[in-house]
Amino acid sequence: MCRAVFLLALTVLVCPAAEALDNGLALKPTMGWLHWERFMCNTDCYKDPNNCISERLYMQMADVMVKEGWKEAGYEYVCIDDCWPSHQRDAKGRLQADPKRFPGGIKKLADYVHSKGLKLGIYADIVGKTCAGYPGSLGYYETDAQTFADWDVDLLKFDGCYMDWKLLGEGYMNMSRALNKTGRSILYSCEWPLYEWPQKQPDYKAIRETCNHWRNFDDVYDSWSSIKSILDWTASHQDIIAPSAGPGGWNDPDMLVIGNFGLSHDQQEDICPRSKKLLQNTDIIAISQDPLGKQGQCTIKVDSFEVWERPLSKKRLAIAVLNTQEIGGPRGFFIRAAPGWKICEPQCNVTQILPQYKELGVQTPHTKLVVSVNPSGTTLLTVTPTSDYAGLIL
């Protein structure tokens, strides 16, 4: 989250304007681990036992999340993506895990994850087969929802591959009702707008009433161009997507890709001690999980800089300054050019969170403070007014 990747986390935090799905979940953005971007659909446990989709992978990840401080930092969910099931349902029409890769079954895996104080997520698809060709849930919504509840699953990622876009809303709402009918609290992650946007503007009021969070745009890849495309799409559509989300239902810009193969250190930081420190940074996580629940939005683009601002509780403001240039050295940005800087009236206290923590002291509306931002990097600040005036931020 140190560089532009942080902005992906910032953008999921949006202001409540519509009634949320009433299941009491996702009052703050979900934090956890999902297998897809790194392990994809690797099912060859004979040739690649350490990287295949199997119960061993998720048990190991649960162990790591506890042992290495991820749970303590707030990461809560261990999530299975596609390619976990058998290619056939059982005699009662229920989904079943691949018996070779998940010999103990999903219930045993859920028990193990829960024993670590974590929660388990699982994957299914709205139509008759998943994106990777495994059994989907069409015609089995209530059966699958009850199966997941019987297994003590805590989150469902419900994909939308191959579905007629005109039937997406009906399908997602039907599964939402089926999950609620089970009586178990299962966080519901949807792909509804992702598959509807190519045809029409989705109904975000209905989506918020149906899902706890939802994907809007393309899958993220291990590349700076992929991250930029998600940021650009989010900025250009923020007036549409922001008003429909907040505590209980969130826009989902896809996974953080810190620790993967395709980005430079300044764009991601691979999972080395430096990256681990970044992802477990309590100041960044506090911004992500701030109880006010209002979105970070792009408020200005100027001179190859983007400014993203997010109102925080206690009348504070987070400001992320992105240098969009990919050449040259660090560049200076006059922080008073940020639209939200008007909260610094008559004065404010400024703290730099990234790239290094630094107290920048008391500032005024006419400050000469310049922050340095690396190429394709982000400098992150929090601003705390020292008077009662907070003004309108966005």
Strand, coil or helix: 383? strand
The one catalytic residue among 44, 63, 90, 219 = 219
Both tokens assigned to 250: 């969130």
Query: Nearest to residue 238, comparing CAs of 291, 145, 300?
Result: 300
Asked whether 27 and 247 are in contact (CB, 8 A), the reply is yes
- DSSP code, position 97: B
Answer yes or no: are the C-beta atoms of 374 and 324 closer than 8 Å: no
**202 CA to centre of own chain:** 20
Quote the tokens at residue 23.
């299941």
| 3-state SS, residue 195 | helix
How is residue 283 written in tokens? Answer: 């100041």
Active-site option among 144, 159, 266, 290: 159
Is there a catalytic annotation at residue 159? yes
Verify whether residue 150 is a known catalytic residue.
no
What gap in Å lies between CA 58 and CA 78, rounded to an integer?
A: 7
Element (H, E) at 66: helix 55-67
List phi, psi (to 5°) of 319.
-125, 125
Q: Please state the separation of Cα 174 from the chain's center in Å.
A: 24
Active-site positions read: 159, 219
